[in-house]
Amino acid sequence: MRLHFSHLEKETTLTQSQTTVGQPTAPVADPGETGKRGKTHTPNQNLLDLVLASLDDDKAEDVITIPLRNLSEMADFMVVCSGRSSRQVGAISEKLTDRLKESLGLICKVEGRETGDWVLIDAGDVIVHVFRPEVREFYQLEKMWLSPATRAIDTP
């Protein structure tokens, strides 16, 4: 399932594989390559697209993208997702870092890969958290970054 909650447009879109929260829809000052729907893609958006494609290829579940541009200086986007087991969490994170290195020459900082419960991947302007479902439910990391209005919509 994919949920798209735009803080600027209050738009909702559903698909089957990913959940995206608050994709920015305002025009971007940086000229970049034109993507779907004629939007201009910045290098940060291209990095995010590569991360999301990798997660989709590796069958990550419940993928949520949270824009951080106006919330924090640490990154432009945070991506939170789940793997079904410790082995899958480790594989998702390893393949993601390999693809980013191969495609962009980007060497990511990685924490937690050894245990496979919660892996944090710092790709610069995109921070990725890969959890086992039980660990994700316990910490509820994405809830800290969502607006109260989005939390109310996102709750079943």
Return the domain boundaries, the chain.
42-141
149 falls in which pLDDT band (50, 70, 90)? low
A 10 A CB-CB count for 88 gives: 18
Find, among 122, 113, 123, 57, the residue nearest to 89 by Cα: 113
CATH code linked to domain 42-141 = 3.30.460.10
| CA 74-119-65 angle, 5° bins | 55
What are the tens digits of pLDDT across the range 73-109?
889 999 999 999 999 999 999 999 999 999 999 999 9
Instruction: Specify the 3-state DSSP secondary structure of 95.
Output: helix
Cα dihedral across residues 14, 15, 20, 24: positive or negative: negative
Q: Is the pTM of this model over 0.75?
A: no
What are the tens digits of pLDDT across the range 38-71?
444 567 889 999 999 999 999 999 999 998 888 8
Rounded to an integer, what distance in angstroms lies between the CA atom of residue 90 and that of residue 96?
A: 10
Any residues with CB less than 8 A from the CB of 85 and at least 6 apart, and which? 116, 132
